[in-house]
Chains A and B, each alone.
Chain A
Amino acid sequence: MEERKQRIPRSLVFLALCGVAGLLALAVSSGHATPQEDDGFRADIMSISVLKDYGPLTQPKVVFLHDKHTSALAKLGDKYKAQCNTCHLKDKDGKTGLAFMREANPASGSDLKKIYHDGCIGCHTGLASEGLKSGPLDVQCKSCHAGEPAVKSSWQPLAVDRLLHFRHAKTQEKADNKCGACHHVYDEAAKKTAPAPKEEQVPGSCAYCHKATDTVTPGGKPEKVRSLRLASHGECVTCHLETAAKGPNTPSGPATCSGCHAPLSQKDIEANNTKQVPAGADLRIKRHQPDRTLILALAPKAKNDPAAKSFTMAPVPFDHKAHEARGLSCASCHHETLASCGTECHTVAGSKEGGQVTLAQAMHSQTSDHSCVSCHAQEQKKPECAGCHSQRKPADTQDKAACATCHTTPAPAAPEALAALAAAPASAARADELARLASQLLDARPKAAPMLATEDIPEKVNIGSMAKDYEPAEFPHRRIVLAMAKAIKDSTLATAFHADETALCRACHHVSPVSKTPPHCVSCHSASGPGPDGRPGLKAALHGQCMGCHKAMGIEGKKPADAPADAKPVPLNTDCAGCHKQAKK
């Protein structure tokens, strides 16, 4: 009886030790992927879960590190002669497919599973039998089916901007296909896509047809379209490999995942863009687009009264060439097709093709990524603009007087003529007429924003009506106004919208009609506290304006670039004495 009593606690201790050992082993075993970049993240993490199309998955997704495999195989030299074709087979036309070891998905899920298992585990087993370091073998299911990767992904999408496009286009200048090396059109006769060698044949950005997933449109031209991912990898990576195969002296693009998608690589690409594109090079992606045009649209005529007259909104002269330098590429604004915005999709009344987004909404939406107004609003977030514009409510931007900045009627202002021009079908003559009218309006705009005369801007303002615990603040008014005007003088957007000389005053001297002699803040902001309509009291109004501007411009504690050496840096918001000295008791 005594012996039995002793054995029980001893066995419990043993079990407990086993449990602890097991937990420790679990903790140690996680995290087996090796870091790729300095920050330990990888850009080549792929998640394989193709079997989900065949039914619910019985195993977690496979975490596959593509670059790890290509670099490991490259080290094998002779064994990797087929390179990509080791895993990605060529089809009957000699084109490398992007699926793993197959041309098309088999009918049954178990066949697909077999392809992957035989392909992956077979290769691993083969290498292991030769004594080489290899991947997980059979019965090590969870080594591949890990579900979530152990390392964080640093994958970033890559956009082909104008600089990158320039570098690529240059390589094809003397080629036969020219634009057709990358851009293709649908050949109705041959019922397949054919290269588009001429500029005007290019439909535009890849993303116009190649969407996030493979698409099949019955009756479409063509019917089956690869996803953007498959299309871009299939075209870009294969071309880079073919170019690299030509010899070590031919510069080529990256062929690994991290070469394009890792943040460090993208910084290198940017650096190369600046290095390899000569200064002053013409980066324009040519597609016979107008330099300047007039945005003019007519609402559809009433069906039951063809004689009824319809007039256009005051048109907008648009400097297309200047705007091309702003966005990443054509697709920044022409987000679905290179056609003009209002012809088919964003008509004045809205249409199905345009998702019922009317022309007005398309041009003025505050929340879209492609509208004029939202892009201008983004510009207002730059530090030199944000000081004033962050203080203004978005509703202020719908100030109706600002409409006239863009919407101007050319002289002679004949509404019938404009309506006729708007209704006329597209032709070279029409495009020329629009360009002529646009130039007339654009050239009439002032080149520099008007400013008040320096003597009209008070030099210093003594802010002290509430001074109690602190002495009045001496505000260097003129220095600040002139510095802000200088910071934005090169911005054409600012010059266009700051149409009158008191525009800059309006950031601080707000709401009341602006003039050279604006009213004292205390006229509207009470010193005793906030007002009933949520209007801040005088103390908060002053602090809110000054501190808000400093915070939005990010200049707290900093000195302006052109300040004299003895100038004080802008005080921190919490540095009360920096703006107004402590009052002596």
Chain B
Amino acid sequence: MNRRTFLGLMGAAGVTLGTGSVSHAASAADVKGLPDSGAVLFDATRCIGCRKCEEACNTVNELPKPQAKFDDLKVLETPRRTHADVFTVVNKYQPAGAKAPVFRKIQCNHCLEPACASACFVQAFKKNETGAVSYDASLCVGCRYCMIACSFGIPAYEYNEALTPRVRKCTFCEPRLKEGKLPGCVEACPKEALVFGKRSEIIRIARQRIMDNPDKYLDHIYGEHEMGGTAWMTISGVPFKELGMREDLGVEPAGSYTSGALSAVPVVVGMWPVLLGGIYAVSKRKDRIAEEEKQKAVTDAIARASADAEAKLSEELTKAEVANKRRIEVEVKKALEAAAQSQTSGEEE
């Protein structure tokens, strides 16, 4: 390929990238969407660590009963995480300087723009109007990108299942929500540490609680903006870091980090082969035709040259023949004259 072609190809590639529209994954300021979707507020100052929510989740989802019973509070001494058959756990934390321990319920946060849905290339995860981020096992291929993508480390996997393993996480009790009932854990909590409602309402309730009791709460609703906003939010009297909650997540939804690059894929896959292939084909054809013409010109030139040569040759040959003939005639004439002379001289004697 010559330089001109190369530069032309590069220019075309760049221009097409510009024409492709960048998919505008909404920033947090734009996530006004879904104010009416379901949300839950967890109040860390109310939770007493009784684990009734864990028991209710286990019952409602018909999960296998664990080894330690739900009223065994000694399990709180070790921090736990969600598992294939444990959709929610309560952990105990001892914040620095606090007299009493504080408890936190861990479960899927049902983000407004879920990272798991963004990472799943078969769209097995969907954010629904009820607020729940639902999982369709029939679409899942088991790549577990969702487990890596989730900043909260929630999705769990059925590693023990050989043939049909599933990704497992809190379902927000979607069937119950559709019936107008509360999620199992929310209904079971004796202290109303969990409150269910529309997301806009839940945020208002949280703000009201913080305003009414400024000494009791930190002035921040965790999940209002984190990772673009979550459906399950937390208010607390101790710093969220002390509850094992990440404070370094930022307000950008996970999908927005990759949407720029990913939006270029259709352009690259769709337009580049066609356009660049076309340019290549055109340029190749031009070269080929040029080559052909060159060949023809060469052939013609040779033909002409050979024709010229032939003509010259025959001309020269003719000339030579004529010259030859003349010489022969001359010689013959000479010889004849000589002969005639000798004859004449012979006769004189």
Which A residues contact B (CB, under 8 angstroms)?
A: 393-395, 529-530, 532, 534, 536-537, 539-540, 543-544, 547, 551, 554, 573-574, 576
Query: Which of B189, B209, B213 is within 8 Å of A394, CB to CB?
Result: B213
Please name all residues of chain A whose beta carbon is closer than 8 Å to the beta carbon of B192 when the two chains form the complex.
530, 536-537, 539-540, 543-544
Measured between beta carbons, the chain A residues less than 8 angstroms from B189 are 540
Residue A529 contacts which of B48, B73, B182 (CB distance < 8 angstroms)? B182
A272 to B74, CA, bound (A): 44
Given that A530-B192, A540-B191, A543-B190 are known contacts, is A573 also in contact with B48, CB under 8 Å in the complex? yes
- In the complex the two chains form, is B48's CB within 8 Å of A544's CB? no
Given contacts A529-B182, A534-B205, A534-B208, whether A576 and B191 have CB atoms under 8 Å apart is no
Once the chains bind, are A539 and B190 in contact (CB under 8 Å)? yes
Considering only CB atoms, which chain A residue lies closest to B213 in the complex? Answer: A393
Whether B191 contacts A395 by the Cβ 8 Å rule is no
Q: Which residue of A lies closest to B76 (CB)?
A: A574
Cβ A395 vs Cβ B212 within 8 A: yes
**B170 → chain A, closest Cβ, in Å?**
20
- Asked if B50 and A576 sit within 8 Å, CB to CB, the answer is yes
Residue pair B50, A574 in contact (C-beta under 8 Å): yes
Q: How many residues of B contact A (CB 8 A)?
A: 21
CB distance from A526 to the nearest CB of B (A): 12
Give Cα distance in the complex from A512 to B212, angstroms: 18
From 263 to 313 in chain B, residues with beta carbon under 8 angstroms from any chain A beta carbon are: none
Q: Considering the complex of A and B, which 10 residue pairs feature the smallest CB-CB distances, nearest first? A: A540-B192, A573-B48, A534-B205, A543-B190, A393-B212, A574-B50, A536-B192, A543-B191, A534-B208, A574-B48
Q: Decide if B46 is an interface residue (CB 8 Å cutoff).
A: yes
B206 nearest CB across to chain A (Å): 9
The docked-state distance in angstroms from the alpha carbon of A547 to that of B192 is: 12
In this complex, what residue of B is CB-closest to A544?
A: B191
- Pair count A-B, CB < 8 A: 41
Decide if B165 is an interface residue (CB 8 Å cutoff): no
* Interface residue ranges, B against A (CB under 8 Å): 46, 48-50, 73, 99-100, 182, 189-192, 195, 201, 205, 208-209, 212-215
Residue in B182, B192, B208, B209 with the greatest tally of chain A CB atoms within 10 Å: B192
The answer to whether A544 touches B195, judged by C-beta atoms less than 8 angstroms apart, is no
Q: Which residues of A contact B205 (CB under 8 A)?
A: 534
CB pair A534–B209 under 8 Å, yes or no, is yes
Query: In the complex, which residues of chain B have a beta carbon less than 8 angstroms from the beta carbon of A530?
Result: 192, 195
19 example contacts (A-B, Cβ-Cβ < 8 A) are as follows A393-B212, A394-B212, A394-B214, A394-B215, A395-B212, A530-B192, A532-B201, A539-B190, A539-B192, A540-B190, A540-B191, A540-B192, A543-B192, A544-B46, A544-B192, A547-B48, A547-B191, A573-B48, A576-B190
Kindly state the separation between the CA atoms of A276 and B191 in the bound complex, as whole angstroms: 51
Q: Which residues of B contact A537 (CB under 8 A)?
A: 192
Interfacial chain B residues near A574, Cβ < 8 Å: 48-50, 73
Complex CA distance for A32 and B277, rounded to whole angstroms: 73
* A536 contact set on B, CB distance < 8 A: 192
In the bound complex, residues from chain A placing their C-beta under 8 Å from that of B49 are: 574
Q: A393 CA to B216 CA in the complex, in Å? A: 10
Q: How far is the CA of A18 from the CA of B311 in the complex (A)?
A: 93
| C-alpha gap A537/B195 in the complex (Å) | 10
Contacts of B209 in A (CB 8 A): 534
Determine the distance from Cα of A225 to Cα of B65 in the docked complex, in whole angstroms.
74
Question: For residue A544, which residues in chain B have a CB less than 8 angstroms away from its CB?
Answer: 46, 191-192
Residues of chain A contacted by B50 (CB below 8 angstroms): 573-574, 576
- State the CA gap A357–B182 with chains docked (Å): 50
Residues of chain A with a CB closer than 8 A to B213's CB: 393-394
Q: What's the least CB distance linking A110 to chain B, in Å?
A: 44
List A contacts of B212 (CB < 8 A).
393-395
Q: In the complex, A539 Cα to B191 Cα: how many Å?
A: 7
Q: Name the A residues within 8 Å of B214 (CB-CB).
A: 394
Known interface pairs A394-B213, A534-B205; 5 further A-B residue pairs with C-beta atoms within 8 A, sorted by A's residue number: A393-B212, A394-B215, A532-B201, A534-B209, A576-B190
Cβ–Cβ < 8 Å partners of B195 in chain A:
530
Q: Once bound together, how far apart are the Cα atoms of A532 and B198, in whole Å? A: 11
Taken together as a complex, chains A and B put the C-alpha atoms of A547 and B193 apart, in Å, by: 13
B110 to chain A, nearest CB (A): 20
State in angstroms the CA–CA spacing of A537 and B209 once bound together: 15
Complex Cα–Cα for A573 and B193 (A): 14
Question: Cα distance A403–B49 when bound, in Å?
Answer: 40
**Distance in Å from the Cβ of B93 to the closest Cβ of chain A?**
16
Measured CA separation A534–B205 after assembly (Å): 6
Q: How far is the CA of A529 from the CA of B182 in the complex (A)?
A: 10
What B residues does A529 contact at CB under 8 A?
Answer: 182
Of all chain A residues, the one with the shortest Cβ separation from B201 is A532
Contact B182 A551 (CB under 8 A): no
Kindly provide the distance from the CB of B53 to the nearest chain A CB, expressed in whole angstroms.
Answer: 13
The CA-CA distance from A258 to B32 in the complex, in Å, is: 59
* Chain A, residue nearest B51 (CB): A574
In the bound complex, residues from chain B placing their C-beta under 8 Å from that of A394 are 212-215
CB contacts (< 8 Å) of A395 on chain B: these are: 212
A539 to B49, CA, bound (A): 17
Q: B208 contacts which chain A residues (CB < 8 A)?
A: 534
Bound CA span A573–B49, Å: 9
Specify which chain B residues have a CB less than 8 angstroms from the CB of A393 in the assembled complex: 212-213
A543 neighbours in B (Cβ, 8 Å):
190-192
Q: In the complex, A537→B188 CA distance in Å?
A: 12
CB closest chain-B residue, reference A395: B212
Residue of A nearest to B195 (CB): A530
Residue of A nearest to B206 (CB): A534
Q: How far is the CA of A220 from the CA of B123 in the complex (A)?
A: 77
CB-CB under 8 A from B46, the residues of chain A are: 540, 544
A532 to B202, CA, bound (A): 10
A171 to B201, CA, bound (A): 67
**Which residues of B lie under 8 Å from residue A547 when comparing CB positions?**
48, 191
Contacts of A540 in B (CB 8 A): 46, 189-192
**Residue with the greatest number of chain B CB neighbours at <10 A, chosen from A394, A547, A554, A574:** A574
Taking the nearest CB of chain B, how far is it from the CB of A396, in angstroms?
Answer: 10
Neighbouring A residues of B48 by C-beta, 8 Å: 547, 573-574
Q: How far, in angstroms, from A277 to B191 measured CA to CA in the complex? A: 50
Nearest A residue to B215 via CB reads: A394
- In the bound complex, CA of A540 to CA of B209 (Å): 15
Instruction: Give Cα distance in the complex from A308 to B100, angstroms.
Output: 59
Report the Cα distance A532→B208, complex, angstroms.
Answer: 12
Taking CB as reference atom, which chain B residue is nearest A577? B71
A42 nearest CB across to chain B (Å): 22
In chain A, what residue has the closest Cβ to B186? A529
CA distance A544 to B209 in the complex (A): 14
